[in-house]
């Protein structure tokens, strides 16, 4: 079986090589999509964890602290700070804006109390300490020391934090609450939510308490259509690879009909016939999976936000490659098994 497979691959190496490269490209794109999907699904949890809050107090009609347009008085935080069960409470504002740099850049805008809940962990520079200072998240095309316009304010980048992307990979800038209130609310003392350390036993009428899980679920809802599209496209890519491998194996089976007839005429076990085609299909798909790994990282470099390609995803790729190879070989195997041994003697 191994010798037969090796000889066939040697004889048809050009076709086999083309099939491997095309399949590897499709596998690589599918692996990149999987990494994108993984990164998007982790965004809500990372953002919520970055605030180090236990619960969130929002308006009664709000679905979550990061998606609501229902504003509340920022003074709600001061009232909660004196409530039973509360260790700390700080107001936040979440909005969207554009930065007019070399071209318009869409970013998420978070207003927070410097030193309070939501203060980011900076990897370069320092945290904002007062008005006119900002911390940028990953993907914002600015450096520490640069300035940018936020509304009618000139802001200086004093620090850079890692990550903090949400709403499908959009980068984030974090600015002291007062500056954001000036830009978004015209200076009015309003907020979108209050991040709370601890858990208040009672909240004022017109407000409700949401847990971190509720906040994550609400954020995930905003990307469901996008992740569903990615999953559907990934499924199509797996089907395409099955079609590529299946067509190659089927053509090989047709060209080897007389070989199969001879094997059948001399009484060769059917497992020899079947095994040769299955082995060829699995070898093709597995080799394509190996080549797909560096291709996936190369494709990921062209994305506007990082794809998280993990070891688990790579191992799953090999599992899928084997399954795809097995399924793709079925048409060729069926053709080989239905070959009439009489063809070996020039029969019909």
Q: Any idea which residue has 């053509």 for tokens?
A: 251
Q: Name the pLDDT band for 348 (thresholds 50, 70, 90).
A: very low
Task: Count the alpha carbons within 13 Å of 332 in the hemisphere toward its beta carbon.
Answer: 31
Range name among 109-113, 125-129, 283-287, 328-332 with the lowest pLDDT average: 328-332
Which stretch of DSSP H or E encloses residue 320? helix 311-328
Q: Residues 188-214: pLDDT tens digits? A: 999 999 999 998 888 888 899 999 999
Give 313's contacts (C-beta < 8 A, 6+ positions apart): 31, 34, 35, 38
If you average pLDDT over residues 282-286, what whole number do you get? Answer: 86
For 78-87, how does the pLDDT look when each residue is reduced to its tens digit (9 = 90+)? 989 878 889 9
CA gap 266, 263 in Å, rounded: 5
pLDDT tens per residue, range 132-162: 999 999 889 899 999 999 988 899 999 999 8
Q: What is the pLDDT of residue 19?
A: 82
When mean pLDDT is compared across 73-87, 101-115, 245-259, 296-310, the lowest value belongs to 245-259
Report whether 195 contacts 118 (CB < 8 A): yes
329 or 127, which is more confident: 127
Q: Tell me the mean pLDDT in the region 283-303.
A: 90
Q: What is the pLDDT of residues 225-278, one digit of tens each?
A: 888 888 899 889 888 888 888 787 777 666 666 666 555 555 556 666 667 777
What is the rounded CA–CA span in Å between residue 92 and residue 54? 14
> In this structure, what token pair is assigned to residue 269?
């076990």
Average confidence score pLDDT of the chain: 84
Q: 183 or 250: which carries more pLDDT confidence? A: 183
Residues 6+ apart with CB under 8 A from 203: 57, 80, 83, 209
**How confident is the model over 220-227, as a mean pLDDT?**
87
**Is pLDDT of 126 > 50?**
yes
* 336: enclosing H helix or E strand: helix 330-337
């Amino acid at each position: 079986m191994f010798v037969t497979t090796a000889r066939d691959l040697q004889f048809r190496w050009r076709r086999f090589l083309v099939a491997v490269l095309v399949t590897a490209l499709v596998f690589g794109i599918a692996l990149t999509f999987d990494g994108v999907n993984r990164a998007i699904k982790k965004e809500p949890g990372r953002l919520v964890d970055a605030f180090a809050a236990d619960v969130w107090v929002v308006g009664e009609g709000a679905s979550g602290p990061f998606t609501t347009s229902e504003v509340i008085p920022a003074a709600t935080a001061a009232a909660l700070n004196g409530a039973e069960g509360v260790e700390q409470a700080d107001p936040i504002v979440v909005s969207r804006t554009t930065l007019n740099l070399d071209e318009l850049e869409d970013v998420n805008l978070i207003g927070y109390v410097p030193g309070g809940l939501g203060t980011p962990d900076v990897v370069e520079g320092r945290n904002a300490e007062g008005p006119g200072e900002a911390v940028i998240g990953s993907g914002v095309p600015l450096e520490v020391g640069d300035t940018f316009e936020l509304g009618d304010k000139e802001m200086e980048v004093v620090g850079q934090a890692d990550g903090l992307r949400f709403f499908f990979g959009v980068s984030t800038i974090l600015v002291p609450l007062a500056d954001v209130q000036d830009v978004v609310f015209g200076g009015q003392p309003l907020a979108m939510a209050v991040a709370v350390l601890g858990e208040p036993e009672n909240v004022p009428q017109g407000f409700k308490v949401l847990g971190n899980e509720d906040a994550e679920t609400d954020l995930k809802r905003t990307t469901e259509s996008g992740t569903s599209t990615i999953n559907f496209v990934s499924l199509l890519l797996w089907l395409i690879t099955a079609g590529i491998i299946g067509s190659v194996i089927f053509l090989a089976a047709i060209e080897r009909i007389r070989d199969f007839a001879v094997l059948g005429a001399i009484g060769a076990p059917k497992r020899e016939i079947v095994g040769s085609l299955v082995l060829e299909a699995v070898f093709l798909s597995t080799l394509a999976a190996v080549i797909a790994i560096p291709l996936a990282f190369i494709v990921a470099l062209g994305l506007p936000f990082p794809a998280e390609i993990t070891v688990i995803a790579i191992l799953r790729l090999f599992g899928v490659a084997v399954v795809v190879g097995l399924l793709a070989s079925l048409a060729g195997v069926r053709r080989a098994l239905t070959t009439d041994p009489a063809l070996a003697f020039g029969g019909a």
